[in-house]
Amino acid sequence: MEKLIITAAICGAEVLKEHNPAIPYTIEECVREAKSAYDAGASLIHLHVRWDDGTPTQDKNRFKAVMDAIWAEIPDVIIQPSTGGAVGMTDDERLQPTELNPEMATLDCGTLNFGGDEVFMNTENTIKYFAEKMIERNIKPELECFDKSMIDMALRLHKKGFIKSPMHFDFVMGVNGGIDGTLRDFMFLRGSIPSDSTYTVAGVGRYEFPLAVAAIIDGGHVRVGFEDNVYLSKGVLAKSNGELVEKVVRMAKEFGREIANPTEARKILGLAAK
């Protein structure tokens, strides 16, 4: 079985310090949280950025400042900027971090009702546009799938040449408007992707650790972090992203699964050595 790639989604675009005081906003806070996750065993940082007041932004200069600061502290870590941005942003606004030519970036594969009047829009043309830009810039997409239909969209666009093999999926489970976080639904998504692809599971809230166990046993990979869940256990706030990563490492050891370092993660994901 492949070694386990642990992704840390250190801040997200929605969660706030009022949910957990350790949520990072500033560059220095992002470096602190990225390093805590890396030191605990994460080889990949899934990155949103914010202004110092916590407002989410896709500004490429802010991304560059945060990424450069993280790499100054941990040079070999994989940084995967989000192109999801926040509800209401334009396509080109969301794509700004890809202008920095990262190794990877996220590619959302469908539209989602986040709740109330918030709709996270990803039309087929938007997905194609993002995919073309990633091919042009030699960026491997992580295919963000909040439901089975989004896997189907990715597979259709793969056949049309918009997405290259081998594909890497991220099953984001338990989000309002998306697929539930049950083991049944995990197996449904897991059985829907090509045999030569890889996947990561991001369970939201109470689904984070049960789904991490399922992925560890199955041979997949795991995402944890403040973007998805701010609790270490019921009612106990995590003090850092590193605490969440440490819990996954402990679970992996229980099942005899070794943890991938960034060099090994790049090989598994088909990225160029750094």
In a domain, 26, yes or no: yes
In a domain, 67, yes or no: yes
In the chain, pLDDT over 70 holds for what percent of residues?
Answer: 100
CATH number for the domain spanning 150: value is: 3.20.20.70
Residues 6+ apart with CB under 8 A from 96: 58, 59, 60, 63
Residue 95 pLDDT grade (very low, low, confident, very high; cuts 50, 70, 90): very high
User: Per residue in 241-251, pLDDT tens?
Assistant: 999 999 999 99
User: Per residue in 25-72, pLDDT tens?
Assistant: 999 999 999 999 999 999 999 999 999 999 999 999 999 999 999 999
User: Per residue in 216-230, pLDDT tens?
Assistant: 999 999 999 999 999
| pLDDT of 180 | 97
In a domain, 182, yes or no: yes
What is the number of structural domains in the chain? 1
In a domain, 46, yes or no: yes
Q: What is the mean pLDDT of residues 157-175?
A: 98
| pLDDT of 63 | 98
Quote the CA–CA distance of 101 and 151 in Å, as a whole number.
25
Q: Say whether pTM exceeds 0.85.
A: yes
Quote the CA–CA distance of 185 and 150 in Å, as a whole number.
14
- Across the chain, mean pLDDT equals 97
In a domain, 82, yes or no: yes
Are 78 and 104 in contact by the 8 Å Cβ rule? The answer is yes
User: Per residue in 105-129, pLDDT tens?
Assistant: 999 999 999 888 889 999 999 999 9
Range of the domain at 55: 6-269
Across 98-125, b (16+ Cβ under 10 Å) vs e yields bebebbbbbbbbbbbeeeeeeebebeee
Residue 205 is classified by DSSP as G
Angle formed at CA 268 by CA 32 and CA 105, multiple of 5 degrees:
55
The CA-based diameter of the chain, rounded to the nearest angstrom, is 47
Residue 86 pLDDT grade (very low, low, confident, very high; cuts 50, 70, 90): confident
| pLDDT of 21 | 97
Angle formed at CA 252 by CA 20 and CA 173, multiple of 5 degrees:
55
In a domain, 166, yes or no: yes
- Predicted confidence (pLDDT) at residue 274 exceeds the cutoff of 80: no
Quote the CA–CA distance of 233 and 247 in Å, as a whole number.
10
In a domain, 239, yes or no: yes
| pLDDT of 116 | 86
- Helices 183-190 and 208-218 sit at what angle, rounded to 10 degrees? 40
In a domain, 10, yes or no: yes
Radius of gyration for the alpha carbons in the chain, expressed in angstroms and rounded: 17
Quote the CA–CA distance of 80 and 44 in Å, as a whole number.
7
